């Protein structure tokens, strides 16, 4: 397991858990949860983060970008134009090229708008961005994103913040079998066991925000997700037994007294 590295766009990480930085009570709580989770990547909503007003707390004062990889995202963008402008701004401000693309289709369900997402991916890839893409769990669209230059596929498990867990395991397994890109479950997880299931399906990682930030005990939940990702990955690599319809005796049939 020590040699089992998580690689995105040729960069290696030890932790396969990515943590969001929104929805916490304050930045101090966020920083502690990130530390306990063991995450080495945190998502940052460029349109919502305070970057210039030094009178207000800065995320960088609580989470050191030299130790933790910042993943700027386009949360709150509803078309390609907004998303492209946001990530170009992130590049100008912080030099970030590894980014998370998120183009939403509506404000109620927050499902990805895949036509605009695909269009944005093509443009960003040509501009040299290393794009991790939030998307639906459609295997055909996932393949189109891969062919368009995406560096990671990030299908939702369920609607953002819903806590419903993985609703379509079959599609996730199909996407896993057809792509060599990192496959990261993004959105909809509610508890640590959801992360373990994602890893057992063969996903390379999970992204969690609400499930930790809004838990009754966020610090304990951060630890739970850390352990679940490790256990799920180890379970996947161990090779589960085949499913059968009939019972099979666990003790030997020969030598019975």
List, for residues 49-102, the tens digit of each pLDDT value: 655 566 777 777 788 888 999 999 998 899 999 999 999 988 888 788 999 999
Distance CA 135, CA 120 (A): 12
Of the candidates 100, 16, 19, the residue with the CA atom closest to the CA atom of residue 62: 19
Catalytic residue selected from 5, 23, 35, 100: 100
- Give the right CATH number for 14-238 from 3.30.70.360, 3.20.20.60, 3.40.50.2300, 3.20.20.70: 3.20.20.70
Confidence of residue 257 (pLDDT cuts 50, 70, 90): low
Does pLDDT of 227 surpass 90? Answer: yes
Q: Which two tokens stand for residue 49?
A: 């983060």
Distance CA 13, CA 67 (A): 12
List, for residues 185-208, the tens digit of each pLDDT value: 999 999 999 999 999 999 999 999
What letter would DSSP give residue 61? G
Q: Quote the pLDDT of residue 174.
A: 96
Q: Which of the pair, 148 or 64, is modelled with greater confidence?
A: 148
Task: Match 């809004």 to its residue by tokens.
Answer: 214
What letter would DSSP give residue 183? B
Whether the full predicted model's pTM is greater than 0.95, yes or no, is no
* CA end-to-end span of the chain: 42
Residue 100 a catalytic site member: yes
Distance CA 144, CA 181 (A): 12
Q: How many CA atoms lie within 13 A of 149 on its CB side?
A: 18
């Amino acid at each position: 397991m020590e040699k089992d590295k998580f690689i995105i766009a040729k960069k290696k990480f030890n932790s396969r858990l990515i943590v969001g930085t929104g929805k916490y009570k304050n930045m101090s709580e966020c920083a502690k949860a990130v530390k306990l989770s063991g995450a080495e990547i945190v998502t940052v909503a460029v349109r919502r983060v305070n970057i210039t007003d030094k009178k207000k707390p800065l995320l960088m004062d609580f989470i050191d970008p030299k130790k933790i990889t910042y993943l700027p995202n386009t949360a709150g963008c509803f078309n390609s134009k907004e998303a492209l402008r946001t990530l170009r701004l992130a590049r100008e401000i912080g030099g970030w090229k590894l980014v998370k693309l998120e183009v939403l289709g509506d404000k109620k369900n927050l499902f990805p708008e895949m036509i605009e997402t695909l269009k944005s991916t093509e443009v960003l890839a040509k501009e040299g961005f290393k794009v991790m893409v939030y998307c639906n769990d459609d295997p055909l669209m996932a393949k189109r994103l891969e062919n368009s230059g995406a560096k990671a596929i990030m299908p939702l498990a369920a609607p953002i913040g819903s806590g419903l867990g993985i609703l379509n395991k079959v599609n996730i397994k199909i996407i896993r079998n057809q792509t060599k890109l990192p496959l990261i479950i993004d959105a909809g997880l509610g508890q640590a066991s959801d992360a373990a299931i994602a890893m057992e399906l063969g996903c390379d990682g999970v992204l969690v925000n609400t499930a930790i930030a809004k838990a009754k005990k966020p610090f304990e939940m951060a630890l739970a997700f850390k352990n679940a990702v490790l256990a799920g990955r180890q379970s996947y690599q161990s090779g589960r037994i085949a499913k059968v319809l009939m019972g099979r005796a666990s003790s030997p049939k020969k030598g019975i007294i």
